A and B are shown apart, each in its own frame.
Chain A
Amino acid sequence: MIKPVLVCPFNRKLMDKIKNTQFIITVTGFDDIHEVIKSVHRTNELLGIKIHTEKTLSSIDFDKNWEKFPLFIYAENFGEFLELFPKTEIIRNLNVHFFLSAHNEFNFTGLKILASLRIHCGLWFDKLPVSWDLMNDLMHYAIYSKPKHAHIEPFKWLAEHYAVNGYSNYDAVYFNDPIKFLHINSNEQVAFTADDLLNNKFIAEGAENIDSIQNLQEYKDLSHSRYESMLKMDDCSFCSAFRICLGKFGYLKDKKTTCQPFFADLHDACDYHLSGKKTKENILWQ
Chain B
Amino acid sequence: MAVVIFKAIEKCNSNCIYCDVIKKHQDKVMDYELLKLIFIRMNEYLTDHPGEEITFTWHGGEVCLLGAEYFRVAYKLQEDYCPETKNRINHLVQSNLTLINQEIIDAFLSLGIKQIGSSFEPIHHIRGYGKNRDSELYNRKFIDGVKLLARNNMTWGVIYVVHRLSLKMPLEIFYYLTNLNASSHPNFNQIKMYGEDRHNLAISGEEFADFLGAIFPVWYHHRERYPNIQPFADIWRNTFENNMSMMCESSGQCTYRWVYVGPEGETSQCGRAGDYGILKYGNLKNFTFQEIMNSKLRKPLALRQKYLSENECKNCRFWGICHGGCPLDAFMIHNDFMKVSSKCDTTKRFIEKYFEPVTGFKVDFPYLN
Let me know if A237 and B176 touch, CB within 8 A.
yes
Across the interface, which residues of A come within 8 angstroms of B140, CB to CB? 231
- Pick the contact of A271 from B147, B175, B225 — CB < 8 Å? B225
Per DSSP, are chain A's interface residues mostly helix, strand or loop, or mixed? helix
* A221 at the binding interface (Cβ < 8 Å): yes
Interface pair A239/B175, CB less than 8 Å apart: yes
Instruction: State whether B179 touches A242 (Cβ < 8 A).
Output: yes
- Tell me the chain A residues, 136-172 only, with Cβ under 8 Å from chain B: 163-167
Which A residues touch B222, using CB under 8 A?
271
Please tell me if the beta carbons of A228 and B227 are within 8 angstroms of each other in the complex.
no
Q: B60-80 CB contact bits vs A (8 Å, 1 = yes)?
A: 000000000000000000000
B143 close to A165 (CB less than 8 A): no
When the two chains form their complex, are residues A230 and B179 in contact, meaning their CB atoms are under 8 A apart?
yes
A167 touches B225 (CB 8 A): no
Evaluate contact between B175 and A227: CB separation under 8 angstroms.
Answer: no
Asked if A251 is at the interface of the complex by the 8 Å CB criterion, the answer is no
Chain A: residues with Cβ within 8 Å of the partner, total of 25
Query: Are A228 and B143 within 8 A (Cβ)?
Result: yes
B residues less than 8 Å from A285 (CB atoms): none
- Contact of A220 (CB < 8 Å), options: B139, B151, B175: B151
B interface, size bucket: 20 to 34
User: In the complex, what residue of chain A is closest to B124 when comparing beta carbons?
Assistant: A233
Digit string of A257-286 for contact with B (CB within 8 Å is 1, else 0)? 000000000010001001100000000000
Minimum CB–CB distance from A170 to chain B (whole Å) comes to 16
Instruction: Say if the beta carbon of A240 comes within 8 Å of chain B.
Output: yes
A224 at the interface (CB under 8 A from B): yes
Query: When A223-B150, A224-B147, A231-B143 are in contact, do A164 and B175 touch as well, CB less than 8 Å?
Result: no
Q: Which residue of chain A is the closest to B120 with respect to CB atoms?
A: A230
Set B146, B150, B176, B225: member contacting A238, Cβ < 8 A = B176
Give chain B interface residues in 120-154, CB to chain A under 8 Å.
122, 139-140, 143, 146-147, 150-151
Q: Which residue of A lies closest to B228 (CB)?
A: A165
A164-B183 Cα distance, complex, nearest whole Å: 9
Residues of A within 8 A of B179 (CB): 226, 230, 237-239, 242-243
CA–CA, A174 and B122, complex, Å: 33
Per CB-CB distance, the 3 closest pairs between chain A and chain B, nearest first, are A242-B179, A238-B172, A224-B150
